Structure 1
Amino acid sequence: MTSKDFFPRLFGFAYRRTIRNLLPVRGYVKYNEVRVEPIKALDKYFSFFHKPMKDIPCYEDAIVDAINEHVTSGDTVVVVGGGYGVTVVRALQKIGKDGKLFCFEGSKEYVKYVQDSISYNEHLVPKESIIVENSFIGSSEHVYGTHGPGFPIESLPFCDVLELDCEGSEKMILSNLSYSPRVIIVETHGVYGATTEEVKTILHRKGYKIISERVAEKNFLDICIEKDIMVLVALKR
């Protein structure tokens, strides 16, 4: 790395880790109306050093829509694959203070995103209703960054609604699940060996009726179709 590259990167690191933390918040970047990143007072002047996130109105729209339709007040929800915490926040809004949500996120980096999103949206969600675990379920092969320990599938908490967005572990989890949630919302990943047709077969075999099948995110319609990334909603018969 040349000095031409080194000093801007060093300043960028210092801005993100020290200076930026001290600045007032001017707003938030939102994914599907969920706050995921604060906008600080000087961000626009230091965009060379700090690459800002941008609003994504339709982020994870298929899962978010399923949560809005099928999660109700007082439900227990298990989320496997928390990502940026958008679906977690949405589910927390639906279950209210009488519900419970367990989030299992394999990536240590993304656990922080989930926790941050909960904090940024604390005016909307009951923080006491959630437990976040830095654990992967099934396989860690496609977990982003550094992963935490594994968590046994058979020990997953009983829930009314199960959401799976776990980069190819869907088949393994569904095949070994020891109970039957009222609703299963699952993002398939044919690109990682969990094809939509295989997941549908497992759901049918376990006594579920699939009531919805759509691309995971309409912003990436072509990519989702090419890589077989779909969201299925299944109800127990």
Structure 2
Amino acid sequence: FIHAPVHYLKGNLSILKGYLIKIPDYTVMKKLDNSLNFFFDFFGDRRIHEMYKGIYHPHVVNCLKKYLKKGDIFIDVGANIGYLTMLGAGYVGKSGKVHCFEPVPIYFNLLSKSAKMNKEYNFILNNCAIGDSPGVADIKISNLSNIGWNTMVPVFDIEPSKIKEIIKVNVIRLDDYIFESRLEEVALIKIDVEGFEFNALRGLIKFFKKNKDNLPLLIVEVMPSIAYELKDLESFMLKHNYRAYDIITECPIDLKQLPTTTDVLFKPIK
């Protein structure tokens, strides 16, 4: 609040307004603020309620809105049901492209449904996971009403009684995908993969090295004490020319001091 009172107050005002919006008790298609259609299937998760009200991850949304421009390429890793994907598509416009990755079939189907309702935009949908070792991996699907609580991290603390199923998913490296797709310039990559973010970032090493003078912005959900040490992540990012910033204030931060799961903005070091 001290460093960014205006951002803080605006964000909280939006959240307060959101609580006044009534949630339908049925499936509905609604236009988002950027005029894209989005398919809302209310199956008990408060996160979908937040999306409907326009108060889901407001600081990530503000960052996408600030840095994406018409004609850009946006990559969404861990697209889930596609809310941030659709917002990103609106910001890059019909001349831009959105490449998204979601391995969980039920969420990929909902993502696909929203993409089909916006045919004039350029979506490239990939039903697979991103990691550092191509192949096949297990992903735990939670039986709780939490659309984000699915993980490929073996040590992720999901009680056996809360696991709905474990499925096999294909895993690819994002740098291989970028090169094979001949993506010339990537503006921004968002990574939200429930503790698997370091693996996803290691799957970008070849891209980081080849494009060290033209690196994209990264928005990464960082989860302390899951499957890696924050000091190792910080060292890796610095080695590949990235510094961590607070996503709201855009002040530099010490990754090692993060107390809890945090969306972090990584900017190339000039």
Normalising by structure 1, report the TM-score.
Answer: 0.65
Aligned residue number for residue 42 of structure 1: none
Which structure 2 residues correspond to residues 142-221 of structure 1 after superposition, within 5 A? 142=151, 146-157=167-178, 158=183, 159-177=186-204, 178-180=206-208, 181-190=215-224, 192-194=226-228, 198-213=232-247
**Equivalent residue in structure 1 for 2:75, among 74, 78, 98:** 78
- Do the aligned residues in 1 keep the contact of 2:78 with 2:192 (CA within 8 Å)? yes
Aligned 8 A contact 2:224 2:261 in 1: yes
Q: 1:179 to 1:154 in 2, by over 3 A?
A: closer
CA distance in 2, matches of 1:90, 1:195: 32
- Structure-2 separation of matches of 1:168 and 1:210: 17
Q: 2:38: which partner in 1?
A: 35
3-state SS, counterpart of residue 194 of structure 2 = coil
The structure with the largest helix share of the pair is 1
- Corresponding letter in the other structure for 2:114: S
Query: What is the distance in 1 between the residues matched to 2:27 and 2:105?
Result: 28
Alignment of 1:12-27 (within 5 A): none
- Say whether the 8 Å CA contact 2:223–2:262 is kept in structure 1: yes
Report the RMSD for the aligned CA atoms in angstroms. Answer: 3.3
Of 91, 105, 109, 1:108 maps to 105
Percent identical among aligned pairs is 16
Unpaired runs of 5+ residues, structure 1, are 1-24, 40-49, 215-224
Answer yes or no: is the 8 Å Cα contact 1:189–1:195 preserved in 2. Answer: no
SS at match of 1:192: coil
Stretch of structure 1 that moved more, 129-138 or 186-195: 186-195
Unaligned ranges ≥5, structure 2? 1-25, 132-136, 140-150, 153-163, 209-214, 249-257
> What corresponds to 1:136 in structure 2?
129
What is the TM-score of this pair, normalised by structure 2?
Answer: 0.58
Shift of 1:89: 0.4
In 1, distance between residues paired with 2:225 and 2:106? 23
